[in-house]
Amino acid sequence: MTETATKKNALVTGGTRGIGRAIVESLADAGYRVAFTYRSSSSEADSLVDALKGRGVDAMALQGDASSTEKAAEAVEAVTKEWGSIDVLVNNAGITRDNLMIRMSEDDWDAVMTNNLKSVFNFCKAAYRPMMKQRGGRIINISSVVGVTGNPGQTNYAASKAGIIGFSKSLAKELGSRGVTVNVVAPGYVETDMTAKLSDAAREAMVSAIPLQRVAVPEDIAAAVRFLASDGASYITGQTLLVDGGLGM
């Protein structure tokens, strides 16, 4: 049995790997039609669509840079044209370009702010009118514990992720009267290709700072997104849910 009585439609940015892929698969398991964006990994995108369709899930891969206002509008339009509505928007796309600020280039600052924060603006603006008209929807923006706590060498990343939190609170107040909720999921350390390459000593130091004494897996983040997208979260808006094993306490 799925969590949705009727088919609903979700759009996830950056959906081909890691957290994004886990979110796509979790929403598909919950009964949603799922569209996702990707920048360049067309083979991974095609493989994911094939896998979802093989399970009987309506799925759509949309190529485009999330930092492009035009591509964001095209993606939302594709979903609403094909499936009739956009019920859930998950802004997951993002990058890192870490360095101490004294060594950080202007390009590194601009790239992170554009890809991480402007992309959220782009997709939320594109979905704003359709969700208002249908008087309902869920927007879930992926931030980071670093946006709450800060982290040396990540001033650009922390600023972009903190910006998502403030943006989401403001948007929640704009859209609340139309039945649209806007929430944030802020992951802590997550098992990725990058963390898999850490030395044993570095990994041990990282895990020792986490009260639950383990790194998250992408499915931990996807479960939080799935909850906030569900009917059970209909009275939750403007909130930031830290899925970090207690790291940000």
**Distance of alpha carbon 217 from alpha carbon 163, whole angstroms:** 25
Give the per-residue pLDDT at 1.
35
Residue 141 lies in a domain: yes
Q: What is the pTM of this model?
A: 0.94
In a domain, 115, yes or no: yes
Report the number of distinct structural domains present in the chain.
Answer: 1
The residues annotated as belonging to the active site are: 157
82 found inside a domain:
yes
The verdict on residue 71 lying in a domain is yes
The CATH number for 59's domain is 3.40.50.720
- Residue 15 lies inside a defined structural domain of this protein: yes
Is 239 a member of any domain?
Answer: yes
Question: What's the token pair of residue 214?
Answer: 């383990």
| Residue 137 confidence (pLDDT) | 98
How many whole angstroms separate alpha carbon 166 and alpha carbon 174?
13
DSSP-assigned beta bridge partners for residue 187: 243
- The neighbouring-strand residues paired with 12 are 36, 90
Yes or no: say if 105 and 148 are a contact pair by the CB < 8 Å rule.
no
Residue 33 lies in a domain: yes
Q: Residue 38 falls within a domain, yes or no? A: yes
What is the chain's pLDDT, residue by residue, as a tens digit (249 residues)? 344 446 899 999 999 999 999 999 999 999 999 999 999 889 999 999 999 999 999 999 999 999 999 999 999 999 999 999 999 999 999 999 999 999 999 999 999 999 999 999 999 999 999 999 999 999 999 999 999 999 999 999 999 999 999 999 999 999 999 999 999 999 999 997 666 766 788 788 889 999 999 999 999 999 999 999 999 999 999 999 999 999 998
Domain that holds residue 31: 9-243
Q: What is the pLDDT of residue 194?
A: 60
| Gap between the Cα atoms of 125 and 136, Å rounded | 15
